[in-house]
Amino acid sequence: MSALPGGPPPGTHLQWPAQGQQVERLRSALLQALEAGDRAALRAAKQQVLAAAFAPAHGGGPPAPALRLALRHLAWQMAGLLLPREGRSRRG
């Protein structure tokens, strides 16, 4: 099982294939950074998700409702993605 379940929330129907591709591209960037253990890439991917979810669309208005919902769902999922601190000893 991956750290980040795929796809938009149930009942969300993205109108255009490009919307689904955008969500999947952002999700993939998060997973790649997480798997690589790359803190800078994970931070950058998180910032991209937040910008896409909350920034105005290219036309100046908000993103389409289904896309906005899918991106916000992804933002909530990624909120808990953390990498362990480097150099920290494990107690056991």
Q: What is the pLDDT of residues 24-82, one digit of tens each?
A: 899 999 999 989 989 899 899 989 988 888 877 666 666 677 788 888 888 888 887 77
pTM of the model: 0.68
What is the per-residue pLDDT for 6?
A: 57
In our burial notation (b when 16+ CB lie closer than 10 A, e otherwise), range 15-24 reads: eeeebbebbe
Q: Which residue has the higher pLDDT, 72 or 12?
A: 72
What is the per-residue pLDDT for 25?
A: 92
Locate the DSSP E strands across the chain.
none
